[in-house]
Amino acid sequence: MTTIQTSRLQSKLSPFDGAHAYTGAVAFVIEDGVAWIVLNRPERRNPLSREVLEALEPAIDGIGREGSVRAVVIGSRGPVFSSGHDLNELAGSDFEACEALFGLCGRVMSGLRRLAIPVIARVQGLATAAGCQLVAGCDLAIASTEASFATPGVKIGLFCGTPMIPLVRAIAPRAALEMLLLGKPIDARRAYELGLVNRVVAPDRLDLEVLDVIETIKAHDPGVPGGGKVAFYEQLELSEFEAYEQMAGFMARGAVSAAAREGIDAFLHKRKPIWPVSAVGSGCGRAEEELRVSGGGSTGGAIKDRSDDAS
């Protein structure tokens, strides 16, 4: 994966515009508290190949350890967001090889969920199969009117079982099952109606819309959005009664935090809050502590330059 330093960027919104000579299948850029992940095989429709997945897995872990990243944006170059798995890698592979590939993909998707930082999908074109899975696996998704989404595995005799996992958690079960059973693409407007994407904008406004979301996130205390994200996914797995019991403690810990003290005082006195220094992704209680122990939280450290790992 290619790591591009901030000084080499021409603007905040340039990682996807083709102005930079990325050498790898995936490019990674950190600028002003934002980690940009760029799928960089437009001539091959940006497949989630083994090469790409092997670059993404440590990158996601590295982002969590960076400590200064406030938001992550995943996008791609060219007209296609991602065509999903590389079928050339599946053709002729035995069970063990296929299971290893799908397991690797699952770890990447799970890593995005566990990352205590908001992850935004920037979707400019077709997202199909595992590419659609990647969109559904992000926390938010901003799509161009030219984007479309499909889980067409049924058409080649391979039901999209792993793309189904985040898809059915993002949209209603019947809508997900229609996509999975029919394999037909849906346009960006339909994806918005179903809840697969948050916003749909004209192609020339896509980056501006992404930036608007980023700036809104960055206006909040650094620790609150990420900690809240982890709590959000954690409570989804609980019954309503269990969720209330757990979130009572979560809210109580938040209410006595320095961030909440400052935010409440600023609101009551009609002033802009001055957020205390805090770690990104902090303030989530039990879920966040588990992440820190397992290495999935933001505990500091550095992201290695993997420019030689993906050609």
Q: How confident is the model at residue 2 (pLDDT cuts 50, 70, 90)?
A: low
For residue 197, pLDDT beyond 60: yes
Helix/strand/coil for 68: coil
Q: What is the pLDDT of residue 280?
A: 56
> Percent of the chain scored above 90 by pLDDT?
74
Binning pLDDT at 50, 70 and 90, where does residue 134 land? Answer: very high
73's CB contacts (< 8 A; 6+ apart) are 15, 34, 35, 36, 37, 119, 120, 121, 122, 210, 214
Q: Domain 2-218 belongs to what topology?
A: 2-enoyl-CoA Hydratase; Chain A, domain 1 (3.90.226)
Give the pLDDT confidence score for residue 307 in this predicted structure. Answer: 33
Residue 273 phi/psi, 5° resolution?
Answer: -70, 150
pTM of the model: 0.85
Q: In the prediction, which pLDDT does 13 show?
A: 55
Which residues have C-beta within 8 Å of that of residue 7, sequence separation ≥ 6?
Answer: none
Euclidean distance between CA atoms 82 and 124, whole angstroms: 10
Query: ∠64-70-298 over CA atoms, to 5°?
Result: 25
Q: What percent of the chain has pLDDT over 70?
A: 84
pLDDT above 80 (res 288): no
CA angle 157, 47, 177 (to 5 degrees): 40
Instruction: Convert the pLDDT of each residue in 32-71 to its tens digit.
Output: 899 999 999 999 999 999 999 999 999 999 999 988 999 9
Topology of domain 224-294, CATH: Lyase 2-enoyl-coa Hydratase; Chain  A, domain 2 (1.10.12)
Express each pLDDT in 155-183 by its tens digit. Answer: 999 999 999 999 999 999 999 999 999 99
With 60 as the cut, is the pLDDT of residue 254 above it? yes
Domain residue ranges in the chain: 2-218, 224-294
pLDDT at residue 98 is higher than 60: yes
For range 211-218, the mean pLDDT: 95
